[in-house]
């Protein structure tokens, strides 16, 4: 059964909910609500990875996330720490996190893989081609499916060389990272190839730009007098969450281990419908 990872952004500038949960008490309450709604894992992050986001000092990042990680782990939740910094990963695991979610796949900080190896935590290795300020400059592929799969396979080998066995590794194709518009759909269509690598696979499409672009185009096409997509109204969060839930179901059908989302309830319900349809429930 595909699990749900709920997003807890303890940041002032994340693309969807930046600032709403910067206060530790608000972030803890939000995390507990996501857990009650069906999130099997809570992914706590203190640094935005939206395109163009500036880096955050690890000391600031830890000040934001450690109280939240500590409280959520103490409440019985499985906590993941979303960080590219080895020092933050080590501190968060000591505070109760069980998974390190590194969007750089261990490339941003050379100490990350050795640190995770020593900690005993599991690790998410995402496909990554550079920091937020440069990600789109490197979004050129001759064969996206083959290159993403091959680069992820390389990260599995790097983890093994650091002493992290494949059963502790979770792969993420990096939807929205180093991929423009339609390239994200190509990556999603290649999910079964990523799953075939062996480690568990995590997919995060939640509220991302490529979904907003799709829905904006759909609105413009359906409207009268809209000359192009830019003439359509901005896509609201409810529509993005519905689109996210659909992609989550399709990812589950491709065999992924978990989906990372903002709206846990919508995705929980969509996955339940898909299981009932396939004969797994109901």
Tens digit of each residue's pLDDT, the chain (282 residues): 999 999 999 987 545 555 566 689 999 999 999 999 999 999 999 998 776 677 899 999 999 999 999 999 999 999 999 999 999 999 999 999 999 999 999 999 999 999 999 999 999 999 999 887 777 888 999 999 999 999 999 999 999 999 999 999 999 999 999 999 999 999 999 999 999 999 999 999 999 999 999 999 877 776 644 444 444 467 899 999 999 999 999 999 999 999 999 999 999 999 999 999 998 765
Query: Which residues, 6+ apart, have CB-to-CB distance to 209 below 8 Å?
Result: 15, 51, 176, 181
C-alpha pair distances (Å), 57 with each of 26, 47, 75, 77, 102: 22, 9, 28, 26, 16
Whether residue 138 lies in the annotated active site? no
pLDDT confidence of residue 226:
41
pTM for the full predicted model: 0.91
Predicted local confidence at residue 225, as pLDDT: 47
Distance between CA atoms of residues 259 and 187, nearest Å: 15
Residue 170's beta-bridge partner residues?
A: 124, 200
Identify whether 50 is a catalytic site residue.
no
- The active-site residue out of 155, 260, 268, 275 is 260
For residue 190 the two structure tokens come to 């290649």
Helix (H) / strand (E) containing 35: helix 24-37
5: β partners = 41, 260
Phi-psi region of 178 (alpha: psi -120 to 50; beta: other; left: phi over 0): left
Q: From its phi and psi, is residue 76 left (phi > 0), alpha (psi between -120 and 50) or beta?
A: left
Number of residues in the chain: 282
Q: Residue 228: what pLDDT? A: 42
Of 190, 175, 104, 181, nearest to 143 (Cα)? 190
Question: CA triplet 241, 245, 249: central angle to 5 degrees?
Answer: 170
Buried b / exposed e along 38-61 (16+ C-beta atoms within 10 A): bbebbbbbbbbbebebeebebeeb
Report the DSSP beta bridge partners of residue 4. Answer: 259
DSSP state letter for 230: G
Q: Which of 129, 155, 168, 208 is catalytic?
A: 208
SS3 100: strand
């Amino acid at each position: 059964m595909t699990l749900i990872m709920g997003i807890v952004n303890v940041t002032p500038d994340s693309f969807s909910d930046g600032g709403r949960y910067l206060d530790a008490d608000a972030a803890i309450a939000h995390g507990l609500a996501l857990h009650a709604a069906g999130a099997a894992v809570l992914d706590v992050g203190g640094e935005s990875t939206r395109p163009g986001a500036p880096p955050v000092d690890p000391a600031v990042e830890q000040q934001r996330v450690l109280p939240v990680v500590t409280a959520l782990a103490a409440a019985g939740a499985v906590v993941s720490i979303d960080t590219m910094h080895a020092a933050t990963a080590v501190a968060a695991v000591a505070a109760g996190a069980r998974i390190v979610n590194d969007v750089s796949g261990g490339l941003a900080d050379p100490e990350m893989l050795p640190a995770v190896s020593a900690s005993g935590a599991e690790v998410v290795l995402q496909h990554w081609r550079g920091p937020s300020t440069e990600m789109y400059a490197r979004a050129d592929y001759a064969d996206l499916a083959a290159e993403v799969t091959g680069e992820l396979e390389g990260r599995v080998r790097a983890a093994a060389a650091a002493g992290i066995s494949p059963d502790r590794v979770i792969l993420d194709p990096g939807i929205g990272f180093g991929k423009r518009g339609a390239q994200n759909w190509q990556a999603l269509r290649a999910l079964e190839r990523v799953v075939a690598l062996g480690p568990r696979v995590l997919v995060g499409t939640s509220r991302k730009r490529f979904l907003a672009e799709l829905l904006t185009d759909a609105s413009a096409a359906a409207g009268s007098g809209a000359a192009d997509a830019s003439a359509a109204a901005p896509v609201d969060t409810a529509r993005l969450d519905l689109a996210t839930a659909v992609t989550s179901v399709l990812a589950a059908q491709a065999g992924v281990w978990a989906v990372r989302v903002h709206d846990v309830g919508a995705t929980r319900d969509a996955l339940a419908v898909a299981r009932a349809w396939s004969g797994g429930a109901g």
